[in-house]
Amino acid sequence: MSNQKNIDVRDQVTLSFEKSFRFCRKGISYRLFRSSLTLAVVVVAVAFFTVLVSESLMLRSTSVGVHDEMGRAREADTTLMHLFHRYSSRDLSAKLAGLKDDPAAVAEFAQVAGVSVEMATDLATQCYVEQLFLHFFRTLSPGKRVVLVKKHTGRATFEFLSGTSEWDAFVVDLAKMRSVRLPTPLETLRTFLDNREVFLASLQTVREARDQTVTALEVKLDGLTGDADAAAWLGQASDADVAQWRTIVTASGFDLDPDAMRRIQEVLRVTALENRISKWLQSPQNREAWKVKLQTTPGLETKLLMLKDQKVAALVGDTFSAEERAAVADRFLRVKHLRELVGKLPRVEDTGVAPSRFMDGRQMFLVIISFLVCMVGITNAMLMSITERFREIATMKCLGATDGFILKQFLIEAAIQGVIGGTAGMLIGMIISVVKSWILLGGAVLAHLPGLQMLICAVATVVIGILLAMLASIYPARAAARMAPMDAMRVE
C-alpha cells in the first residue's frame, strides 16, 4: 500500500486596510529616495496649480473690493449724476441692462419715469438682450463680423438683420462658423429683432418721461439752492437744509436713504474743503511763500499730500485747522491709492453683460500641461520603483499575496504620497501666490482676501494631488500585480 502525503492548503491571509497602510508606510520610508522623486513631481504640479487658481481668486476678489471702495469714494458724484443726468437712448439701454437683476433699482426707475414696475422690468430685460448682442458683435473678430453683418456696427447691426434675406444669410453663415456661439439661443435674437421697433419706441417714451421728472426736480431744487451747483451747495449746507433737499428728491420718486445722504454730505464737505485749500495753495503769494519756506515748487497733488507735514502747518497757520488738513490729505491719498490699484487690477464689468471668467484660456492650458507632466512623471517614477522591487513583489506572491493585494499596496503608496505632496504643494503655492499678490497690490490683497474660496481651493488642490498620484499609479500597479513570481525572481 503506497503512502499518500497530505498537503495542507490553508486560506490565504488577507491583511486589513490598517495593516496594509502600515506596510506601505514602511515601504515608502525604506525607499525614501525614490519616494521623494514622486513626491517632488506631485509637489511641483500641485503648487503650480495652486498658484494659478489662488492668484486668480485673489485678483478677482481684490478687484471687486477695490472697485467697491472706489464706488463708495465716488458715491457723491455717482448719486448726483443719477439724479440729474439726461441719458441718450443708447446710454439708457446700457443703464437699464445693468438694473435687470436689481428689483429695487428697477422699481425706483419705474417711479421716476411714471410707468409700472412690470413695464420697467420687461424693458430692462429687453435692454439686457440688446446690450448682450451689441457686446457679442463688438467682440467678434473683424473677419467674422464682416461675414455675418458686413460693416454694420452698433444698433445698425440689428436694423441690417431685420431684413429677411439678410437674416437668412446670417443664419447660414453662422452655422458654418463652428467656433462662434451666440450668447443666447438664436430664437431670442429673432424675437428681439421682431419686437425691436416697439422696444425702441418704449425706450424713447420712458426716456422722455424721466427727463421731464428731472427737469421738474431741478426747478423745485432751484428754489432752495438758488443758482448754486448742487455739489458745492450740499458741501456747505446745514443739516436742516440737506434734509429738506433730500425730501424734495425723494418726492420725485428717487430713493435716497438718510445714511446715504449723510455719507454724500460728508464727502462733499471734504471736497469743498479740498477746493478751498487748493485755491489757497495756488494763489501767487502762497506759491511764493511755499517756495521760500520749503525750497521746493511741487505740483498741487504733491502739496495736498504734504498737508500734514509740520513745515506746511507752519506755512498755513490758522487758515485751516489740523483736522481739516488731515481730512483732505487722507482722502486725497486714499483716492490716489485706489486709482493706482484700479489700473493694476482686471476690469469689473458693470452691466454683467460680459462676466469675467474664472481662468482664461492660457491659464487652463498651463494647468492641463502641468497635470499631464505630473502624471507622466509619477508613472515613470512608479515604474522605476517596480523595477527595483521585482524580487520583493515575487517574494510577496510566493508568500501568498494576491494580485489585488499588490494592486492595493501600490495604490495606497500613491495615495500617501499624494496626500503629503498635495499638502506640501498647496502650502507652497498658497505662500507664493499671497506673497506675489501682496508685492503687486500691497495690503489690499489681505483686506479683500477671499477666505472661504481660498479654503475650498486648498482642499481641492490636495484632493487633486491625491487623484493625480493614484491615477498615474494605476498602470504601474497593474503591471506589478500581473507579474509572474518565477519571472520576477530571475531578474538580477
Sequence length of the chain is 492
**N- to C-terminal Cα distance for the chain?**
46
| The pLDDT value given to residue 356 | 46
Q: Which of the 8 DSSP states describes residue 353?
A: S
Residue of 292, 263, 281 lying closest to 320 (CA atoms): 281
Give per-residue burial for 295-319: e unless 16+ CB within 10 Å, then b: eeeeeeeebbbbbeeeebeebbeee
| The pLDDT value given to residue 260 | 86
Handedness of CA 458, 460, 466, 469 (dihedral sign): negative
Cβ atoms of 84 and 112 within 8 Å: the answer is: no
**Region for 393 from its dihedrals, namely left if φ exceeds 0, alpha if ψ lies in -120 to 50, beta otherwise:** alpha
| The pLDDT value given to residue 170 | 93
Cβ atoms of 480 and 410 within 8 Å: the answer is: yes
Which grid cell sits at 58? 485673489
CA distance 492 to 489: 8
Those residues whose C-beta lies under 8 Å from the C-beta of residue 437, and which sit 6 or more positions away, are 55, 58, 59, 62, 445
Per 3-state DSSP, what percentage of the chain is helix, strand, and coil (rounded to 5)?
80, 0, 20
Cβ atoms of 328 and 355 within 8 Å: the answer is: no
Cβ atoms of 430 and 454 within 8 Å: the answer is: yes
| The pLDDT value given to residue 305 | 85
Q: Which of the 8 DSSP states describes residue 445?
A: H
Residue of 353, 336, 327 lying closest to 66 (CA atoms): 336
**pLDDT 10s per residue in the chain (492 long)?**
455 555 554 555 566 667 667 766 666 655 555 667 777 878 888 888 888 888 888 888 888 888 888 888 888 888 889 899 999 999 999 999 989 889 999 999 999 999 999 999 999 999 999 999 999 999 999 999 999 998 899 999 999 999 899 999 999 999 998 888 899 999 999 999 999 999 999 999 999 999 999 999 999 988 888 877 888 888 888 888 888 999 999 999 999 888 888 888 888 888 888 888 888 988 888 888 888 888 888 888 888 888 888 888 888 888 888 888 888 888 888 888 888 888 877 765 544 444 445 556 666 777 777 777 777 777 777 677 666 666 777 777 777 777 777 778 778 877 887 888 889 889 998 999 889 888 888 888 888 888 888 888 889 888 888 888 888 778 777 777 777 766 655 555
Report domain extents, the chain.
17-69+357-490, 86-221, 242-344
Cβ atoms of 34 and 409 within 8 Å: the answer is: no
Q: Which of the 8 DSSP states describes residue 349?
A: P
Locate cell 419715469: which residue? 113
| The pLDDT value given to residue 105 | 92
Q: Can you give the pTM of this predicted structure? A: 0.68
